[in-house]
Amino acid sequence: MRALSTLTVRPAGEADATRIGQIYVDAWLDTYPGLLPGALLRRLDPEATARRMRRIITGGGQRERVLVAEHEDEVVGMASHGRCGDRALGYEGEVYTLYVDPAAYGCGVGRSLLGAVREAETARGARSLLVWVLAANPARFFYEAQGARLIATREARMSGMPVPMAAYGWRDLGRRTRPRRPGA
């Protein structure tokens, strides 16, 4: 697919919560079969996710901020970010979530959202940024292509099952990174 020429990224509003909930669930159902327990995926509820996102959005962005990517007045992706939850790693900002409508994969939505998160975290005063992903998630290569380096691994538990996680980080947000090929 080609890049969306009219893509804009903006802070999420309360009215975006329903669409964000749907994108979140659709992306999980598209990406995680075989990586996460089926019982967990079957329990995903776009309405419950929308309620949670609405609380975050209307909470004033003190801890977590939410951005949406819009194409022709339709939200096609979302990202949330804030202070790093694991300060021991030495990173200041964290991408908590970044999900794109599966119909918009490969169109530059994720890259635009990540760029906006980097700018927002830099404006907040963060000099570094990390993101945790499922270690088996092929999307981890997206972060490598955006200049991130593997910095840590850990095991999380989801529905009682151990799930290997990997953290990718950008040490210097002030430095512009060129997208690179995975493994380069």
- For domain 7-130, is the CATH number 3.40.630.30? yes
How far, CA to CA in Å, does 162 sit from each of 36, 37, 69, 96, 99? 9, 10, 32, 20, 22
pLDDT reported for residue 159: 82
Cα 21-65-71 angle, rounded to 5 deg: 55
pLDDT reported for residue 182: 46
pLDDT reported for residue 3: 61
pLDDT reported for residue 67: 98
Q: Which two tokens stand for residue 103?
A: 């119909």
Q: How far apart are CA 170 and CA 151, in angstroms?
A: 9
pTM for the complete prediction? Answer: 0.89
Full pLDDT tens readout for the chain, 184 residues: 456 678 999 999 999 999 999 999 999 999 999 999 888 999 999 999 999 999 999 986 678 999 999 999 999 999 999 999 988 999 999 999 999 999 999 999 999 999 999 999 999 999 999 999 999 998 899 999 999 999 999 999 988 889 999 999 999 997 655 555 444 4
Q: How far apart are CA 81 and CA 121, in angstroms?
A: 8
Give the 3-state secondary structure of residue 86.
Answer: coil
